[in-house]
Amino acid sequence: MIVGGGAAGWITANTIAAECSAWDDPGLRVVLVESPNVPTIGVGEGTWPSMRMTLQRIGLSEDALVRDCDASFKQGTRFFGWSAGDSVDGYCHPFSLPVEYASLNPALHWLAQDGGASFAQTATPQALVIERGLAPKQASAPQYAFTVNYGYHLDALKFAALLRRHAVDRLGVRHIAGNVERIDSHPDGDIAAVVLDTGERVEGDLFVDCTGQRALLIGEHFGRGLTSVKDLLFNDAAITVQVPYADPNIPIASATCATAQSAGWIWDIGLQSRRGLGYVHSRVHTGEDSALAALKSYIARTSPGADPHSLTYRTILFQPGYRTEFWVGNCVAVGLSAGFVEPLEASALALVEQSAAIIGQQLPRDRQIMEVVAKRFNSKMHYHWQRILEFLKLHYAISARDDSDYWRDNRTSASCPEGLREKLTLWRQQPPWHDDAPRIDELFPSASYQYVLYGMGFKPRYIGAGKVCDDQTRKRAAEVFHNTRRKAQQMAQLLPPNRALLRSVAQRAIEQSGRPAT
C-alpha cells in the first residue's frame, strides 16, 4: 500500500511492481491511494544519472520521457557567485567522474600545477561539453546510452502523470482515488488498513508513506518527528516561477545553474518549453519581499523579452530535517515524508529512487523478515542523510563571501557538521579520494567533493605532488590530462547542441507512437 502520489509515490509503485513482477505469488498486489484534491508541489525538476537506471528497470521509454515531460538532458550543475561573489566566480560540478579516477587521483597532480585550466576542465571532458551547452550524446545513440554521463530536467507534474500511466497500464498497479480519513491498527501497533472518504477500507501488509511534508503515516500516526538541521543548513523557503522562452530556438543549458544571492541561491533549469526558477533562501536572513525582488532582478537580467512582473510566483515553505526513524513497524517513509533539507544538488529524487529500490529488492515475505529489512533501511538512510548534510554544507562552509550575515553565519564552525569539519582538516594536507566516500552506494563520490572544493578555490596547506609521487606517476597524470583535453575538443566537434538532440528524440518518439506530446 503506497499512500500518496506525485513523483515519490509513483516511482515507488513502479519500482516495487517491476522488481516483483517475477514473483509467483497471486496474493502480491501493489496499490496506490492518491488524494484527488491535494496538489503536488511539482518543483522537483532535477534528477541524477541514477534516474536512467530507474527508468530502464521499470521499462519506461526515454523517448517517451522526453516527449511527454518537457524533459531536457542534465549533465551536472554550474555554480556562479558561491566563492567570492564577483563576475568571474564560477565553476562546474559535472556528473562524469574524472578520467581514470579509479587508479589516479587528479587533484593531487592538478594542485601541483601553477595556474592553467580549472580543475573540472582538467579532470573530465564533460566540463567543456557543459560550458558549450552540448548534448550528452549524438542523435543516433540508443536510448539511455551516453558519451558523457547525464540525468534529466523535467516537468515534475507531467513526470508523475507518465509514471502513473506506466504503473497502471503496464505493471498492473491498482490506483485508488480518495482521501485518508482514518488509519486502523492491529493490536501490535502495525497499520492494518486505511479508510477513505469514499467509504472504502483498504488493507495492506506494508505501507509506504508518500504523503509529503504532512507525513500522514510516519509523522501523524506513528509520531516520528523530524531531526531538525536548521542550525546547519539555514534555507527554509523557496519562491518559484516558470519563465517561457521568448524565442523557441534559444539554446537549452546542459546543466542546472545555481547562482548565489545575499541570503540563498537561485536555481535555473531549462526545459524544452520554459525555464523553471526558484530562489531558495533563509527567512531569518531576508524577508519575502526582498527575496521576490532579487528573483525578479535575476529574471530581468537573464531573460531577454520577459516581463518579471507579469509572471506567477509561488512560495514554498519547508522545515530542513529528516525523520528520527524512516521505517516503523510495517510503515516506511519515502520522499518528503522522510525529510527534506534543500534542493541544492537535487538529492531529493535520488533518495526516492534509492529508497524504492531497497524496498523492491528486499520486499519482505513475512513480518519477521520485515524487522531485519527495516533495521537495515533505517541504518542506511541515516548514513545517507549525514553525508547529504556534509556535502551540501561544503558549498557554504568554504565560501569566501563576506557581504551578508547569511554567508558569514554559514562559515562559522558551529554551523558545520562535525564530520565535515574533520574532513576539511584532513583535506588541508591531502585531497579527497576513495577513503573519503568508501561505500559502494555513496550518494556523492569523493570526486564530487573534489569538484566543489577546487572549483571554489580551496587551497591545502601542506600538499605537494612532487613530494608524494614518483616520476612515473606524474608522467602518467600529465598524459591523462593531455588526453582529457584532446577528448574534450573532439566531443565539442561531434556532439550536437542540447536543444537539437531533444528535438530529434521528441520527433522520433512521435513517429514511433503516432501521437504528439501530452
3-state SS string for 451-507: HHHHHCCCCCCCCCHHHHCCHHHHHHHHHHHHHHHHHHHHHHHHCCEHHHHHHHHHH
**DSSP of 71-90:** -EEE-EEEEESSSS-STT-E
Active-site pick, 74, 158, 393, 487: 74
418 in the Ramachandran plot: left (φ > 0), alpha (ψ -120 to 50) or beta? alpha
HSE toward the beta carbon, residue 481, CA cutoff 13 A: 22
User: One-letter amino acid identity for 321?
Assistant: G
Instruction: Find out whether 148 and 129 touch, Cβ atoms under 8 Å.
Output: yes
Q: What angle do CA 291, 294, 299 make, to 5 degrees?
A: 125
Cell matching residue 329:
513497524
**189 vs 106: CA distance, rounded Å:** 53
Angle at 230 between CA 83 and CA 151, to 5 degrees: 60
Contact (Cβ atoms closer than 8 angstroms) between residue 494 and residue 505: no
| 332 beta partners | 208, 327
475 has catalytic annotation? no
Residue type present at position 343: P
* C-alpha cell at position 250: 534559444
Residue 320: phi and psi, rounded to 5, are -65, 115
- Please name which of 45, 505, 497 lies closest in space to residue 252, comparing C-alpha atoms: 497
Residue numbers annotated as active site: 74
